[in-house]
Amino acid sequence: MTLAQDEVVSGLVAELRSLRGLVATLTEDEWAAPTRCVGWTVSDIAAHVTGVMADITAGRLEGIDTQPWYDRQVAERSGRPPRALVAELDHVIAATEELMAAFDESAWKGPAVPGIAGTLGTAILSLWCGIYIHNEDILAALRRAPQKGPGLHAAVAYISVALTDRGWGPATIALDGVGDVTIGGRGGRRIEADPLAFTLVASGRADPALLGADSSVNIYG
């Protein structure tokens, strides 16, 4: 399952705007609500996503994709109200659009930054996937309906790449409304699933037994 560069770029920006719109609606109680990300509240997730994109767009990449990098981003924004995160997200979204416009096809197909495996395009797809999942973490915490639009397709696309790179499979995941996604080559078992359920399982947010799998299906595990 392959997504074009312009689709990934526009999708990443749209996902950030979705987070911005969501944060702007939150009450004080909702801002402090616990989430399925153990130890993190809604505000922590919003701070995490905002911090990741703020650091990336500013070139603060030392320690990228490590827990200390993430923890610092959350700690720096601890105690801020939603309106402060909304203001920062406005800046981050504009900076993201500017950064994405700088990548030509050659850069997109070239290596990602040091510390991140794979191509730049795959790394940016992973950002879209992660932000979509965190938007869903917030919606679930607030007991709001999930989003099943382009972000879900992006999550499935990245997860299939990540699982293949991990040597998971071979398997064919038959996803409602998406179609068959081949992981790890043709052959192997066929698993039928809802795409959101597959995404939640593969991101460690639901029991892998739902897919007849074990914990190795968790790309973040």
Q: Give the sign of the dihedral formed by CA 67, CA 73, CA 76, CA 78.
A: negative
**Percentage of the chain surpassing pLDDT 70?**
100
Structure confidence at residue 23 as a pLDDT band (50, 70, 90): very high
138 and 192 within one domain? no
121 and 170 within one domain? no
Letter string b/e over residues 44-55, b meaning 16 or more CB atoms within 10 A of that residue's CB: bbbbbbbbbbbb
Whether 107 is in a domain gets the answer yes
Whether 24 is in a domain gets the answer yes
139 and 76 within one domain? yes
**What's the pTM?**
0.96
pLDDT of residue 172 exceeding 80: yes
Instruction: Work out the average pLDDT over 6-30.
Output: 97
State which of 113, 147, 181 marks the end of a domain.
Answer: 147
Distance CA 72, CA 212 (A): 37
Which pLDDT belongs to residue 111? 96
62 and 170 within one domain? no
207 and 98 within one domain? no
Q: Is 20 helix (H, G, I), strand (E, B) or coil?
A: helix
C-alpha count within 13 angstroms, C-beta hemisphere, residue 15: 33
Contact 30, 24 (CB under 8 A): no
pLDDT of residue 160 exceeding 80: yes
84 and 106 within one domain? yes
117 and 29 within one domain? yes
Instruction: Work out the average pLDDT over 49-54.
Output: 98
State which of 87, 115, 147 marks the end of a domain.
Answer: 147
pLDDT of residue 120 exceeding 90: yes
Q: The CATH number of the domain where 133 resides is what?
A: 1.20.120.450
Whether 141 is in a domain gets the answer yes
Domain extent, residue 36, equals: 5-147
Which pLDDT belongs to residue 1? 62
Distance CA 53, CA 40 (A): 18
State which of 147, 170, 202 marks the end of a domain.
Answer: 147
Whether 117 is in a domain gets the answer yes
- Total domains, the chain: 2
pLDDT of residue 2 exceeding 80: no
Alpha-carbon separation of residue 189 from 148, 162, 171, 174, 201 (angstroms):
25, 18, 5, 10, 17
Q: Is 143 helix (H, G, I), strand (E, B) or coil?
A: coil
142 and 183 within one domain? no
Structure confidence at residue 25 as a pLDDT band (50, 70, 90): very high
Structure confidence at residue 177 as a pLDDT band (50, 70, 90): confident
- CB atoms under 10 Å from CB of 14, counted, come to 16
- Share the mean pLDDT of the chain: 95
Contact 120, 12 (CB under 8 A): no
10 and 115 within one domain? yes
Distance CA 140, CA 129 (A): 16
Distance CA 131, CA 46 (A): 10
Whether 211 is in a domain gets the answer yes
108 and 44 within one domain? yes
Whether 133 is in a domain gets the answer yes
Q: Is 176 helix (H, G, I), strand (E, B) or coil?
A: coil
Instruction: Work out the average pLDDT over 138-151.
Output: 95
Distance CA 52, CA 44 (A): 12
Quick: pLDDT tens for 184-219. Answer: 888 788 999 999 999 999 999 999 998 889 999 999
Largest CA distance in the chain: 51
